[in-house]
Amino acid sequence: MAPIINRRELTIAWGDCDPAGIVFNPRFFEFFDASTWMWFDAALGVKPHELNAAYGLIGIPLVDARANFLKAVKFGDTVEIATRVTKFGRSSFEIEHRLSVGGELHIEGHETRVWAAKDPTDPDKIKGIAIPPDVLAKFG
């Protein structure tokens, strides 16, 4: 089965930009986060607030994020964001985001997230747990 790629379009608003009309770099990490949750919903059919009931998860916390800024993205640009998982570990997974304008790659983003639940020995903490095989199968 081919990996699931979630695609969405977004038109850059003035509020996303600095005074020069170029997207303020931290906004890309907000775009990545929203795209990750949309991808999760598309792959599993589970909304973020339903993860605990469906899988006993507290969430999928972000433990690493980075981006390569290849070309500027500007006010009014329509970007396509393509999101996919590139690697699964026991309890973590890596996500790739590719933002294109007019079919040309402008930004590459990468996240590492953890499949996390409450720590049974300390309810104030969370810990990574194994990603269930049925979930891995849904992700392709």
Classified as helix, coil or strand, 109 is: strand
Tokens 């790659």 label which residue? 105
pLDDT of residue 139: 75
Classified as helix, coil or strand, 33 is: helix
Tokens 């800024």 label which residue? 69
Report pLDDT digits (tens) over 64-101: 999 999 999 999 999 999 999 999 999 999 999 999 99
Give the residue extent of every domain in the chain: 6-139
Classified as helix, coil or strand, 67 is: strand
Q: Is the pLDDT of residue 1 over 60?
A: no
Average pLDDT, the chain: 93
What homologous superfamily does CATH list for 6-139?
A: Hotdog Thioesterase (3.10.129.10)
Query: Model-level pTM greater than 0.85?
Result: yes
Report pLDDT digits (tens) over 115-136: 999 998 998 999 999 999 988 8
Those residues with Cβ within 8 angstroms of residue 108's Cβ, 6 or more apart along the chain or in another chain: 67, 68, 70, 96, 97, 98, 99
The tokens of 85 are what? Answer: 């998982």
The tokens of 60 are what? Answer: 């999928």
What are the backbone dihedrals phi and psi of residue 116, each rounded to the nearest 5 degrees, phi first? Answer: -125, 145
